[in-house]
Structure 1
């Protein structure tokens, strides 16, 4: 087995991270069974941690667990915990947050029957809290699970994910180091990849995600998820051809899994076919209505000049945001950034961004707040948060675009030019709506010294 103790040490435990959806899914989206422990329910936790649970398999599991619970017995607490984890899997497989309510009910029932050593339910409650963007709750439940089962690597992952979102990066890095030391697998290697990307080591991130693809043996969907994440890393660094190969590998492993087709659609858009790309993403959204994919479809339709279809996708985003809030998901930051990007800037939007930043002060939140402030004309305050967002050295084209536009409004033409060049050098396709604007702005800056 590979020695993993120094993988994160090379980054330095003082390095900070930013947690986002592009590379690192929360604990609830990563799979492998924890080491067997007395009384442990490895298969149930494995269901929780699967990145791409099959909908049919989960439905069968839910039905079987419900039937067993009707029989009663002294182990009902364990069955309730397993059912809660299965409901969380259903939420991922269907992008339907109403399963969160079901999961909360049975996980609480499990804990009411056994609060002392019920680490499966504790992990479930932590994953549920994080899925709802309650990262303080996720941290508390992760620590409880760690106390009950000190050798469980996934408790460390849950703790680390929450700490990153709360801006507590050194502690989060330590949690991830503990996680990979305990078990080098798909979940921990994916986190290493993300950590390296965040600190600007994209090559190291690609290497780590390559390790993740090598251990993604739980199901074809696991492999497809890992190759999609590898493709995202490559696409984000402007390597379109290599990204396409990764996406195609993922699609071949699990043809019905929704993520690789989205990646391949981005390849089409990058090669000048936004209309075909938009239609492909919209087809995915029909069966898997994740808001980030609906936004992507809308932006691609807008790029192709199909405004009516773009508006339909944006309407779906708003409906999904309402559904998420109705099922306990905190969406202040996401709503603020979406509105700022789509012509709905207002003081209310800024208030949402401030609220989100206060609850999860990551560098992603710093960037979102900076951009919402920019859209209402508060450029000096925006610059403060933009600097905060860039403090890790993350090679993120959108961060640099935001910084460049803020600098331009403050009269810093040299700074604006440097940031815009950086954004486009990192990834010429960093944003379907803003990359063209970055090019036009650079042309004006070059024409008027």
Structure 2
């Protein structure tokens, strides 16, 4: 296996212990793989220790530290805080906790109705006590959940101004800076986070940064250690779900499926893992199981992303009417999300580019790029421009999305596929062939609809001609001062 950290010329982060490469599930506390079958050892230490905390206490510890929490525990916390605040409406801390709990509930259920309630609670906390770092941090989490990364950055910085050692503000700042395409600032925020805090939640945030920089080995190892140190089944399930995403992205489908299934076993409300199962089963050609997994995920967490993926799966099976139902549901969910202040322009733009109006997609995604120029937006805008017939400009954005020096370190088969198809349209056969082959190397079954198109394009491109072979003896061209 490659070592991406070595490839990139990057060492370990100061103050952050070097994580060793291992297979995620084999190293998770309480798990073992025997004879190819995943078995689970008993949860906990097995000894007679102190009783576990009550559901409300577990949820309180989770929402105030930004880790995953079981939905039933979260409901207990919300109910308790609502009752408390009816009797004590001036309790700033309880308003902040309630607001953070609403944010988490909205994120886990994809119910945007939680976000206006969260904002009201957090603003009441700030009204009760100015320079309230906990409430400011909650506002940053809310802004990130709504995909308003500029606001999230501002709220995080305000929280840190109120309390420079508020470590929980740094993960929100990392997400915000990444969404804005400011990767150096995200790295600095991670450096500060690991100075202030150690633990599984910090390892999980570090894994996200490593993944975004193309350091998949380091990301997988950090998630492995995070899962091993998780304090609750819901927290461990969240880290396993992320591990499944990494495994899927590198094309290790059997491993990804194990991660997703174990995550759902630990936390039946882990709908992202159910959607991950659907994605992986579709790639494995197990379409009936994939459809069932997607339907179950969408029923309890109607995320527009799941509607798009399920619609594309139906489309790949020739079920056009079923696909249209999902696409109509996507539009409806995006409209509902907008009522809760959520910016779903990225997913809507991606949908319009491939299944609706590409020119409308370009308009949406140009606006999104001006607001928050992250790598995902660069890729989506480049593809929308290609679909609208503007390939010269499309190429610029596709290169931004895949250029490690400009932040596009994510090793995404989809991004590289988009680049290759744009190059093919621009009659750049050598580059197109190279990038389409790279996409299939990164993940040979990354999409049920796009993989056949990539394979067809490669057949049409044929074998490289003599003109495509670079002259290794030629003198390199000197760059102009402007370059």
TM-score (norm 2): 0.80
Question: Which residue pairs with 2:345 in the alignment?
Answer: 332
Structure with more contact order per residue of length (Cα contacts < 8 Å, sep ≥ 6): 1
Instruction: Check conservation: 2:15, 2:194, Cα contact below 8 A.
Output: no
Matched, 1:291 2:307: no
Assess, with a 3 A threshold, how the Cα gap between structure 1 residues 220 and 148 changes in structure 2: closer, same or farther.
same
What is the alpha-carbon distance in structure 2 between the residues aligned to residue 290 and residue 384 of structure 1?
30
Assess, with a 3 A threshold, how the Cα gap between structure 1 residues 151 and 235 changes in structure 2: closer, same or farther.
same
Kindly provide the CA deviation profile for residues 225-246 of structure 1, in whole angstroms up to 9, marking residues without a partner as x: 1111101101110111222222
Instruction: Check conservation: 1:62, 1:87, Cα contact below 8 A.
Output: yes
Larger radius of gyration: 2
RMSD over equivalenced CA pairs, Å = 2.2
Matched, 1:62 2:78: yes
Instruction: Check conservation: 1:53, 1:92, Cα contact below 8 A.
Output: no
Question: Which residue pairs with 2:166 in the alignment?
Answer: 152
What is the alpha-carbon distance in structure 2 between the residues aligned to residue 426 and residue 140 of structure 1?
36
Kindly provide the CA deviation profile for residues 345-378 of structure 1, in whole angstroms up to 9, marking residues without a partner as x: 12x2211110001111112111111111101111
- Quote the offset at 1:149 in angstroms: 2.1
- Quote the offset at 1:52 in angstroms: 4.0
Matched, 1:376 2:392: no
Unaligned 5+ segments in structure 1 are 8-40
What is the alpha-carbon distance in structure 1 between the residues aligned to residue 172 and residue 449 of structure 2?
34
- Quote the offset at 1:79 in angstroms: 1.7
Question: Which residue pairs with 2:254 in the alignment?
Answer: 241
Matched, 1:115 2:130: yes
Question: Which residue pairs with 1:282 in the alignment?
Answer: 295
User: Given the alignment, which residue of 418, 423, 427 partners 1:402?
Assistant: 418
What is the alpha-carbon distance in structure 1 between the residues aligned to residue 248 and residue 163 of structure 2?
38
User: Given the alignment, which residue of 265, 284, 304 partners 1:252?
Assistant: 265
What is the alpha-carbon distance in structure 1 between the residues aligned to residue 252 and residue 95 of structure 2?
46
- The 3-state SS of whatever aligns with 1:289 is coil
Question: Which residue pairs with 1:106 in the alignment?
Answer: 121
Q: How many residues align?
A: 411
Unaligned 5+ segments in structure 2 are 1-13, 20-56, 466-483
Alignment of 1:15-54 (within 5 A): 44=60, 46-47=62-63, 49-50=65-66, 52-54=68-70
What is the alpha-carbon distance in structure 1 between the residues aligned to residue 224 and residue 18 of structure 2?
18
- Quote the offset at 1:42 in angstroms: 11
- Quote the offset at 1:84 in angstroms: 0.9
Assess, with a 3 A threshold, how the Cα gap between structure 1 residues 238 and 136 changes in structure 2: closer, same or farther.
same
What is the alpha-carbon distance in structure 2 between the residues aligned to residue 265 and residue 439 of structure 1?
23
Kindly provide the CA deviation profile for residues 390-433 of structure 1, in whole angstroms up to 9, marking residues without a partner as x: 11243111111111111011110111101100001000122222
- Quote the offset at 1:448 in angstroms: 9.1
Kindly provide the CA deviation profile for residues 196-233 of structure 1, in whole angstroms up to 9, marking residues without a partner as x: 2222222222111111111221x211111111110110
Matched, 1:351 2:366: no
What is the alpha-carbon distance in structure 2 between the residues aligned to residue 262 and residue 416 of structure 1?
31
Matched, 1:185 2:199: yes
